[in-house]
Structure formats: structure tokens, C-alpha cells
Amino acid sequence: MRTIILLLIYLSYPPPQGLPTGTLRWIMPAGTQGPLRETPLGQKGDTIPPAAKKLIETYPNFISGYAGNHLIFKDKTKMLWDDGIKNKSFKTLLDKPDLKDMFTQKYTAGLLREPLASNFDPGRIRYEPFFLKMYGATEKAVEKNLVEITWCPKLVGQRIRVTKINGIDKKLAQISKELDEHPELKRYLTNIGGTFTWRNIAGTHRHSMHSFGMTIDINTAYSDYWQWACKCSNENAVIKYKNRIPQLIVDTFEKYGFIWGGKWYHYDTMHFEYRPELIQ
């Protein structure tokens, strides 16, 4: 009995003040008389933004949670979520985004709704350190995780190199298997334009997503690219949309977490990249 009384006294003792970030806190649930509960949240009032939740769900091998404006990785490192800079221009969003900015534009799966608003490029805003951390920070580090798969064994049979991080090799093998049942799509799927190349996007200091082995360009001969249309590389140019890629190809990639560059104002219809966090 004495032990129970002592325990009750201990449990009703007020929460300790000034706990450092990351320690457990004692919280009295609102409107109740106890018992007291413990929560592993890092800071008072921490709520997880829906977009951060999406990252936690879609990259379970890497991310363990969110606390105090940071994504928490399984290796105990953390990455800033919101840098607090408001009203970034489109160019700044491309050049200096934070994790939160990646979700500024909403990518919608399924049929494309035209016309695309100027600079509406959902998926082109990428916080590079996030991808360098998962797929490799150097060409050699990325290459270590690359494997060869046979793309569309019946229709094409081309060997391509892709990363095995996040199960991307398996996902691409599955996409390939499904598309392989459609001979009418063969001309779009032959002569794969490229998967892995460690390089910057022309004219920028930003890495091309092809640097990470999680991106594939299908046949360029049936593809369209905004720079070919305007014969320019000026992002501010007025661009006329063009696409020849059938919807079934787009739907199949999206089903496995790949976004399509054909849904961008600055369109690139050969381009598919693994960004499951964006697909809704």
C-alpha cells in the first residue's frame, strides 16, 4: 500500500521544467485529471506537417520521424524542414529550396489538365541534400548501389543501370513487365534515352536527377522537350505544350511512384523520376 501511495505522489508531481530538446516530456492530457502520459515528441507543440508525413511514409528505409522543424533520419541525423524564408521567387525555389518547398506545387496523378500555368513544374523544386543523402553524395557512392535490369524483355531487351535504393530496381522491373504486355507501345519504349549519368543540369549548379539512378528517359525520338520547342534555354520563354507519350505509360509509372516530366510547364515528356512523396 505504501508503495502505491508513493507512486501516486510521484505521478502527480508537476512536470520538470526546461528539459532539453529531444528528451521525453510529461504531459497532462487537456481536461483530464491524470494519469500522466509520456510522449516522445521533441518539442512542445510539435505537429508533423502533412508533407513531412508523406516523406516519412514514402521513404521508410531512411526517415524515422519529424521533430522541431527537422526531418529525423534513421541514422540519427536530421535535416532542416523550413528555412523560414518567405515569398521565394520561382528561380530561388529551384536554386535554394528547403525540404518544405518541394511541395509548393501539387503533382496530380492521372490525366493531365491543360493548359499548364506558367512555371507550374511540380517536382522540379528539389532539395538536393535529401537526394544526395539517400542515393549517394558522389558518383562512386551512387554507382555502388546500381544494378542492371533488362528493360521490357519481350519487346525491347535493353540492359539499363538503375539504383536499388528504395527498391527502385524492383519497381522499374515491375513497370517494365507491365509495359512489356503492350506491343502497341513498343516504339516509345525502345532505345531508352538514359538512366544514370552523374551530371549537372545544363547551365546550372544543380544536379540532374539522372545523377541518382532513380530517373529514366524513354525513347527521345517520340518525346518532346520545351527547349526543343522554343529553341532556347530561357526559363521565362512562352512555351507551347506538346506531348506524344500515351497515357498508359504515364499511368504505369505513376502507379509505382514515378512522376512524369510531361506534367510540367517546362515539359520533358521522356522523363520519369521516383518521387512517391509528390503523387496524390
Distances in whole angstroms, Cα of residue 189 to Cα of each of 148, 194, 262: 17, 12, 16
Question: Residue 180 or residue 217: which is nearer to Zn ion going by CB?
Answer: 217
| Residue number with CB closer to Zn ion (103 or 258) | 258
State the residue number with the nearest CB to Zn ion. Answer: 271
Q: Is the dihedral of CA 134, 135, 137, 143 positive or negative?
A: positive
Are 214 and 175 contacting, i.e. CB atoms less than 8 angstroms apart? no
Distance CA 159, CA 170 (A): 14
Binding stretches for Zn ion (CB under 5 A): 217, 271
Kindly state the smallest distance separating residue 224's Cβ from Zn ion, in Å: 13
CB of 270 to Zn ion, least distance (A): 6
In the bound state with Zn ion, the residue whose beta carbon lies nearer, of 70 and 271, is 271
| 169 in Cβ contact with 162 (< 8 Å) | yes
Q: How far is the CB of 277 from Zn ion (least distance, A)?
A: 19
Q: Which three cell numbers stand for residue 205?
A: 549548379
Question: Between 136 and 261, whose beta carbon lies closer to Zn ion?
Answer: 261
| C-alpha cell of residue 196 | 544514370
| Neighbouring C-beta atoms of residue 18, cutoff 10 Å | 4
Contact 36, 26 (CB under 8 A): yes
Question: Where are the extended beta strands (E) located within 180-249?
Answer: 215-217
Distance CA 13, CA 267 (A): 61
Between 63 and 192, name the residue whose CB sits nearer to Zn ion: 192
Least CB distance to Zn ion at residue 32 (A): 55
The one-letter amino acid at 71: L
| Residue 52 vs 249, nearer CB to Zn ion | 249
59 within 8 A of 79, measured Cβ to Cβ: no
